[in-house]
Structure formats: structure tokens, C-alpha cells
Amino acid sequence: MFSVVNNQQKPIYSIVGPTASGKTEIGVALALRLGNGEVINCDSVQIYRGIEIATAKPTEEEKRGVPHHLIDYVDPNVKYSAADWATDAAAKIEEIERRGNVPILVGGTGFYLRTLKNPFFESPKTDIILRQKILQIKEKKGAEHLHKILRRIDETAAEKLFPRDYVRTTRALEVFFQTGNRFSELQPNRAETPEFAARIRIFALNPPRDVLYEKINVRAERHFQNGLVAEVNYLRESGVKDETNALGAHGYRRVCEYLRGERSLESAIEKTKQDVRNYAKRQITWFKRETGVVWLDGFGNEAEMQTEFFRILGI
């Protein structure tokens, strides 16, 4: 019979880091090393069905028989939020531990992980039109300009956010414009922190920056060669809107611009490379601001890295 008490000392592992750093490989290796590990996806793009080529979803071969959860299960038109993911992930953690197995959170969406550990207050569903307007401001004037807007309407919330943290800045702006309430005034109404939050051990990959960026560039080119434009065109023709979170993701947004005639294919490719490199940099910055993170220098698919990781864990 499942018992919270029985699980209080059992660790939940979280492997994070920038895109293209090898999180899948080391997550699977850990699951196999433990013998009873199960992976829970913590990537905000891999959740969507039909969004394939530029998502790095693990293949069956890459999974190596390890159970994977919260991948490929959300319709791309659904307004799926970090709070939605946190609810689903908490349920999966309980389900996995009921079986006597070990949950391993794998992915680079730091906002998802933070929301799992510190649940939000009840907030309005995402307004896609409003989010698109905010995104347009960010694209035109930069993330710092959004932060200046937030400072004018909610100085307390702005003080707590890094000026380039546009994800949380955007959410604070959305809450204000949808409800008329300041984000800082609603934050004290957060849900209770889950029991398992204190058991999450976070390990972040930190590969050499120049090698990582080159890997990102090569991977972006390969995505276009493998039919990314055709995939996006099919999704749009199937009714998926450009304004959705799914097609607003890195690797997809610039293709939509190309298909709308707003940029050339060459420009879409180069801009995608830049977008993903910048995203990787922001991911590293995000996790460096988190507390209790253990950093692992190198890529997750390196045998030496995995050996060192297991030594740290004592397994």
C-alpha cells in the first residue's frame, strides 16, 4: 500500500540543462543504473502531439526500454500551462512511487520544474491573443521593455524578476491585464508545497559553450533538411494556429514566419539557430539562479560524465 511516510527519504531525480546537452541520454542511463527508474518529461514542447522534428523527443531506441511519461499527449491547440503540467507531473510521481519505482524528471523547462516545487495560485487560463500581443512587444522592443511595463503596474513583482526573464514577466502581465489584480498581491495565495518537493535533487548539465552552440547549429540545419517546413505546413493546414504555444516554440515560430512570407527560408534557418542558442544561454542562466543545483560539466551522452554522475550519487 502506498504511503507518503514510506517515501519521505526517497530521492526524486531531476536532470536539467540547456537544449542539446544530452539530458535524455543521461536520464535513461540513470534509470537503467537504478534498475527501477521512470522518466517524466519536463520539456514544454515534447508534450504536444504532432510536433515532432524540432522537439528532440526520444525515440524508442533512445528510451532503451525505460518508461517515459508526459510526452506526446497534449493537442497542439490546447492552452496548456506550467500549472497544468505540474498537476500532471505530481500525479505521475505518485503513480510511479506507488509501483515502488523512482521518478526521474528530465527536461530543460525550468519554469515547469519551479512550478512543480512551488505551485501557483489559481490563475486565469492563457489568453492567446493577449499573449501574442505581449510577444510582439518583446520581439520588437526586447524582454527588458516588458519588464519596464511590469514595473509601472506592479513594482513589487518586477523587483523579484530578472529583467530578461520574459516568461515570468509575461505571466505577471497577463494576470494583471486579465484580472486587474497585481501578481504580487496574488502570489501569497499559492497552493501548499507538495511533500515531495524537498526530495527533488536537481542536476544540471553544463557542456562547453562553443561546442554546445555548434551542436545546436548543426541540429537546426538537420531539422530543416528532415522536413520541418513540411511538418509545420501540415500542422497549419490541419488547423493548428500560429499563435499557439506549440507553433510558438523554438524551431517552429520562424518557419511560420517563412510560410507567411515574412522572411526567406535562409533567414528562417539562421534565425532559428540564433533563437535556440539564446534559449540555451537563458536556460543555463535560469538554473544558475536556482538553489541546490549540482552542476555536471560536459554532455550527458559522455561515458565519463555518466561515471562521474553515478559516483556523486553513490550508485
pLDDT in tens, 15-36: 999 999 999 999 999 999 999 9
Q: Are residues 180 and 230 in the same domain?
A: no
Report whether pLDDT(190) > 60: no
Report whether pLDDT(207) > 70: yes
Decide which of 188, 213, 237 is a domain's last residue: 188
Half-sphere exposure of residue 271, counting CA atoms within 13 Å on the CB side? 17
Decide which of 150, 169, 188 is a domain's last residue: 188
Report whether pLDDT(254) > 50: yes
User: What is the pLDDT, as a whole number, of residue 104?
Assistant: 98
The pTM assigned to this predicted structure is 0.80
Kindly report the CA angle at 236 between 234 and 242, in degrees rounded to 5? 145
Q: Region 230-235: what's the mean pLDDT?
A: 98
Q: Are residues 4 and 63 in the same domain?
A: yes
Q: Are residues 132 and 223 in the same domain?
A: no
Greatest pairwise CA separation for the chain in angstroms: 59
Q: What percent of the chain has pLDDT over 70?
A: 94
Q: Are residues 112 and 140 in the same domain?
A: no
Report whether pLDDT(287) > 70: yes
User: What is the pLDDT, as a whole number, of residue 76?
Assistant: 96
- Provide the CATH number for the domain around residue 155: 1.10.20.140
Q: Region 106-129: what's the mean pLDDT?
A: 83
The grid cell for 58 is: 526520444
User: What is the pLDDT, as a whole number, of residue 3?
Assistant: 43
Q: At what angle do helices 303-313 and 23-34 cross, to 10 degrees?
A: 50
The grid cell for 307 is: 561515471
Quick check: helix, strand or coil at residue 1? Answer: coil
Q: Are 197 and 118 in contact (CB under 8 A)?
A: yes
Q: Are residues 11 and 54 in the same domain?
A: yes
Q: Are residues 152 and 58 in the same domain?
A: no
For residue 189, the 8-state DSSP code is: G
Report whether pLDDT(70) > 90: yes
Q: Which residue has the higher pLDDT, 76 or 7?
A: 76
Q: Are residues 217 and 152 in the same domain?
A: no
User: What is the pLDDT, as a whole number, of residue 178?
Assistant: 85
The residues that bridge with 69 in the sheet, in sequence order, are: 40
User: What is the pLDDT, as a whole number, of residue 165?
Assistant: 84
Q: What are phi and psi of 75, to 5 degrees?
A: -60, 135
Q: Are residues 228 and 311 in the same domain?
A: yes
Residue 300: pLDDT band (50, 70, 90) is very high
Residue 54: pLDDT band (50, 70, 90) is very high
How far is 300 from 215, CA to CA, in rounded Å? Answer: 13
Decide which of 188, 210, 235 is a domain's last residue: 188
Q: What are phi and psi of 205, to 5 degrees?
A: -80, 140
Q: What are phi and psi of 59, to 5 degrees?
A: -80, 170
**Which residues 6+ apart lie within 8 Å of 235 measured at CB?**
50, 51, 76, 246, 247
Q: What total number of domains does the chain contain?
A: 2
How far is 222 from 245, CA to CA, in rounded Å? Answer: 23
- Mean pLDDT computed over every residue of the chain: 91
- Provide the CATH number for the domain around residue 104: 3.40.50.300
The grid cell for 215 is: 551542436
Q: At what angle do helices 228-237 and 209-225 cross, to 10 degrees?
A: 60
Q: Are 302 and 17 in contact (CB under 8 A)?
A: no
Q: Are 203 and 14 in contact (CB under 8 A)?
A: yes
Residue 269: pLDDT band (50, 70, 90) is very high
* Positive/negative CA dihedral, 163, 165, 167, 171: negative
Reference 150, options 185, 174, 126, 118; nearest CA is 174
Enclosing domain of residue 223: 1-120+196-315
Residue 285: pLDDT band (50, 70, 90) is very high
Q: Are residues 115 and 233 in the same domain?
A: yes
Q: Region 143-149: what's the mean pLDDT?
A: 91
Q: Region 303-311: what's the mean pLDDT?
A: 96
Q: Are residues 35 and 4 in the same domain?
A: yes
Residue 213: pLDDT band (50, 70, 90) is very high
Q: Are residues 184 and 107 in the same domain?
A: no
Quick check: helix, strand or coil at residue 29? Answer: helix
Q: Are residues 153 and 235 in the same domain?
A: no
